[in-house]
Amino acid sequence: MDYVLQVQGLTKKYHQNTVINDLHMSVPKGAIYGFVGKNGAGKTTLIRLICGLQEPTAGTYTLYGTNHHESDISTTRRRIGAVIEGPSIYMNMTAEDNLKMQYRVLGLPSFDGIPTLLRLVGLEHTGKKKAKHFSLGMRQRLGIAVALCGDPDFLVLDEPMNGLDPKGIIEMRELILKLNREQQITILISSHILDELARVATHYGFIDNGKMIQEISSTELEKVFRKCTRIKVTNIGVLTRVLDSMQQEYTVVSEEAVNVFGEVHITPLVLRLANEHCNVLSIHELDESLEHYYLNIVGGAKHA
């Protein structure tokens, strides 16, 4: 398998604080790689390292086979486009003028590609409207357009859906899929909006306290997702007490419902609830969420 990015034993310390801790990671060419971790887990620090904004304390990484110690790594990094900690745009400029400014920064010979870029991110009709009057979703898409000015084939996005309304999230999702499928751009997405990430990612890396806990493809993840049964009742206290006595694993999701993991013997459960005057309102099967899977493996890692 070809890899755009490979990280080997990367560590980053600030004084005595270790933010990235002996991290290993591989991003396959053509993937949408979901980089999953809570705030402060080290996601943005790793992104800043691979984009050359900071130097690692130890370890190494390669981009397209070029080690970061090699002299031509700066040339290789030109194949990366990135939006880190918010879009880098000029608020008093139009979308077109923002792209022209980036073209000048990159030393590109003409502005011929700008109309195509604006169409790609859905901003071709913004005209003379300045970025300060854009919605947050439009600003995010303009930031991606700026990142695409150098025609990169590896795009790094740090929390691209953070703060977006439902419409903005859908537009961002569609743009990410378009860039990956139609433009063949490998994408690394750092995000904590896991339900949305699960709609686009082909691979995942789960990070906690600066360490990579697990890397897995979406296909492999689907095979290990546990089924769960959501049970809604009239008395949640009775239900949890009965489940405890039956040694069932569960999580409480509301004042009247729980998710029960593993095989559930419905008939004896319902009979025991009925004996304690607790009525079952509904029972249906669910797939385990990406969020619950992440919390499960992180919890397991903390107690390893």
pLDDT digits (tens, 9 = 90+) for 103-152: 999 999 899 999 999 999 999 999 999 999 999 999 999 999 999 999 99
Cβ contact 1:28 at 8 Å? yes
Q: What is the pLDDT of residue 211?
A: 93
- What rounded mean pLDDT belongs to the chain? 91
Q: Of 4, 163, 113, which Cα lies nearest the Cα of 102?
A: 113
Phi, psi (degrees; rounded to nearest 5) at 149? -60, -35
Name which of 9-23, 90-104, 219-233, 256-270 the model is least confident about.
219-233
The reported pLDDT for the residue numbered 287 is: 67
Task: Dig out the tokens for 11 from the structure.
Answer: 């560590």
> Beta strand pairing status for 227-233 and 186-191?
unpaired
70-80 average pLDDT score: 92
Residue ranges of domains in the chain: 3-217, 226-287
Q: Is pLDDT at 183 greater than 90 in this prediction? A: yes
Average pLDDT value for residue range 31-53: 91
Instruction: Please check whether the two domains, 3-217 and 226-287, share a CATH topology.
Output: no
pLDDT of residue 21: 93
What pLDDT is stored for residue 282 in this prediction? Answer: 94
Is the CATH number of domain 226-287 3.30.70.100? Answer: yes
Confidence (pLDDT) at 126: 95
Does the structure show a pLDDT above 70 at 288? Answer: no
Reference 252, options 240, 238, 234; nearest CA is 240
Q: Choose the weakest-confidence range: 5-9, 154-158, 290-294.
A: 290-294
Q: Which residue has the tokens 């003379």?
A: 128
Helices (H), the chain: 43-50, 73-76, 95-106, 114-120, 136-147, 166-181, 194-197, 218-224, 236-245, 266-275, 290-302
What mean pLDDT do residues 68-80 have?
92
Lowest mean pLDDT segment, chosen from 6-20, 49-63, 282-296: 282-296
| Chain centre to alpha carbon of residue 225 | 18
**φ, ψ dihedrals at 234, nearest 5°:** -85, -15
C-alpha dist (Å) from residue 131 to 17, 83, 147: 38, 16, 16
End-to-end CA distance of the chain: 31
Q: Which two tokens stand for residue 33?
A: 């790689």
State mean pLDDT over 207-235.
Answer: 88
3-state SS, residue 50: helix
Percentage of the chain modeled with pLDDT above 70: 97
Classified by CATH at the fold level, domain 3-217 comes out as Rossmann fold (3.40.50)
| Cα four-point dihedral sign 261, 265, 270, 273 | negative
- pTM of the predicted model as reported, rounded to 2 decimal places: 0.80
Q: Give pLDDT tens digits for 144-173.
A: 999 999 999 999 999 998 888 889 999 999
Give the whole-angstrom CA distance, residue 97 versus residue 114. Answer: 10
Q: Give the closest residue to 33 by CA, choosing from 296, 219, 223, 215.
A: 215
Of the pLDDT bands very low, low, confident and very high (cuts 50, 70, 90), residue 221 is confident
